[in-house]
Structure 1
Amino acid sequence: MKSAVVVKNLSKSYKDFTLGDISLSIPQGSIFGLVGENGAGKSTFINAILGIINSSYDTLQYFGKDFEQNQKEIKEEIAVIFDQTHFDLEFTPKLVSGFMKYVYKTWDNGKFENYLLNFNLPKDKKLKEFSRGMKMKFEFAVALSHDTKLLILDEATSGLDPIFRDEILDILRDYSEDEEHTVIMSSHITSDLDKIADYVAFINHGKLVFIRDYDEIQENFGIVTCGLNTLQALSPEDVVAYRKDDYSYKVLINNKHEIRKVFKDLVIENASLEDLMLYTVKGEKLV
């Protein structure tokens, strides 16, 4: 499987925060989710791999090419959407479309105007008159109107209403289905990633805690609500972590099909991405 992005031992230190030794490989044609609390290091990681901030690393490659040696070529094939618009608020969409063809060789003005129409965005209105949601829709219209191989979203859906977020998720799913286009999506809205992510990386306090195939999460992980005797009967190898409620224990397990064979009456609920994060960080280990 080809990799869209390869990172080895990336680090960035500030006075009061360190993003430490992040290594990962993002498969081409996938939607790769980055999750973590605010301040966990998601935006620092994205800014580092884009060269916006200086960082140290052993390897940083896009599409098999070294980033340092091929920055201009690589950036031509990337679109980035942050949580706020980066265009001058005095600009109009019409003005932006006029100069984007000089920024990207593959700029498609017809496609851009179709997105404006579909997103109900006026061409001649200044961006400062747009609502937050309209500004983010405009960012998506720009990003999707040139032939990029990689789309990077840093909390870009957080300012959108639920209906439009679902529309964007459908667009992202279609974008990545040809196995040529890749999405890196940083979000604290884990339900969005539950809907579309192929892989998920969890960053906590500057450390990469895990990378998982989302199908593996759905297939193998579950939540069990049980008493102390059942908890103690479970194998530590099958238990990721547990949390104690007032009258029971909630247990995150990683082998739900095998556990069902042994504990036939046990009710096992599907585990969400939020469950994995919560139990990994705040759960107790079974020893």
Structure 2
Amino acid sequence: MESILEIKNLTKKYDDFKLNNISFKLDRGYIMGFIGPNGAGKSTTIKLIMNLLKRDSGEIKVFGLDNIKHEKEIKQRIGFIYDRNYFYDEITLKNMKKIISNFYTNWNDNQFYKYMEIFNLKENKKIKELSKGMQMKFSLALALSHDAELIMMDEPTSGIDPIFRNEILDILMEFIQDEKKSIFFSTHITTDLEKIADYITFINDGSLVFSKPKDEILDSYRIVKGGRDLLTEELKKKFIGIKNSDYGFEGLVSRIDDIEDEYREKVLIERPTLDDIMLYTVRRGEKNA
């Protein structure tokens, strides 16, 4: 079975930024988290996948199809959830649904109204009367109501309360249970990805840092904490990044085996979060707290 999303050597140049030779793939039945700091190139990558921007070079295949030559067919099979409201403020949810549903040949009204009930959305409400969380619920109901095989999510949980975020995560996990569908989830809230993602793709300054199974990433990196008297120049070279304070140091290593046994007995070693890995990778070198 072909990958549901495959990107090879993707490049897009601007005057002050370059998405540089990005490659990764997402197979069916999995959730991929897409992370990186502001300005890393996440939104550019998503726009290129959706053919909202033209790539300079490289390949993008969705469902095994070139995303430019087969754009209409591909978009029939994708559910997209934006980070902001692109609906008409003065229109009701019922009429907004009528507009959106006309674009999809596989639209399923029963599925749509199932999610409307789950999310406690009233179809006579106007878009402008909905909170950000309710607008996101409406976007999700639309995205899940036309038999989409791939859900593309661009910062969907930003500014949403934790209760609804968990509700979304449960629905996304249910969505991929048949192992034929996948989710591409771009977010700054890495704790959400630690709960549900199978793979993490991390880009920084337009370049790929890694695209690997989440558990492999979290198992390979370690946070090391200790007194500043232990931090020799030789030891510093082992770290991706180090943060100093009056009380000691804290740093990230990608291979704990690089830290000799004599040091391991004197320091505290912890499993990092995705936030830790992203922070120390972006802020490489030595910093003072």
| TM alignment of 1:190-229, pairs within 5 A | 190-228=190-228
| TM alignment of 1:227-238, pairs within 5 A | 227-228=227-228, 230-232=230-232
Query: Residues 80 and 151 of structure 1 are in contact (CA less than 8 Å); yes or no, is this contact kept in structure 2?
Result: yes
Aligned to 1:117: 117
> Could you tell me how far apart the structure 2 residues matched to 1:161 and 1:102 are?
32
| TM alignment of 1:106-145, pairs within 5 A | 106-145=106-145
Deviations 1:188-232 (A, max 9, x none): 112111221111122222222222321112323221111356555
Greater CA drift, 246-255 or 22-31: 246-255
Residue segments in structure 2 that go unaligned for 5+ positions in a row: none
Query: Residues 7 and 57 of structure 1 are in contact (CA less than 8 Å); yes or no, is this contact kept in structure 2?
Result: no
Query: Residues 106 and 146 of structure 2 are in contact (CA less than 8 Å); yes or no, is this contact kept in structure 1?
Result: yes
Deviations 1:103-158 (A, max 9, x none): 21221111111211111111111112212221111001100112111000011111
Deviations 1:27-67 (A, max 9, x none): 22211111122222111110111101122232111122222
Give TM-score, length-normalised by structure 2: 0.88
Query: Residues 33 and 193 of structure 2 are in contact (CA less than 8 Å); yes or no, is this contact kept in structure 1?
Result: yes
Give 1:249 shift.
1.8
Please tell me whether residue 88 in structure 1 is matched to residue 88 in structure 2.
yes
Give the % identical residues: 42
Aligned to 2:280: 279
Q: Specify the SS of the correspondent of 1:171.
A: helix
1:255/1:14 CA distance change after superposition, 3 Å = closer
CA RMSD of aligned residues (A): 2.5
Aligned to 1:40: 40
Aligned to 1:157: 157
Aligned to 2:49: 49
Q: Specify the SS of the correspondent of 2:250.
A: strand
Q: Specify the SS of the correspondent of 1:3.
A: coil
1:82/1:282 CA distance change after superposition, 3 Å = same
Give 1:176 shift.
2.1
Equivalenced residues, count: 285
Residue segments in structure 1 that go unaligned for 5+ positions in a row: none
Query: Residues 218 and 274 of structure 2 are in contact (CA less than 8 Å); yes or no, is this contact kept in structure 1?
Result: no
Query: Residues 35 and 200 of structure 1 are in contact (CA less than 8 Å); yes or no, is this contact kept in structure 2?
Result: yes
Aligned to 2:244: 244
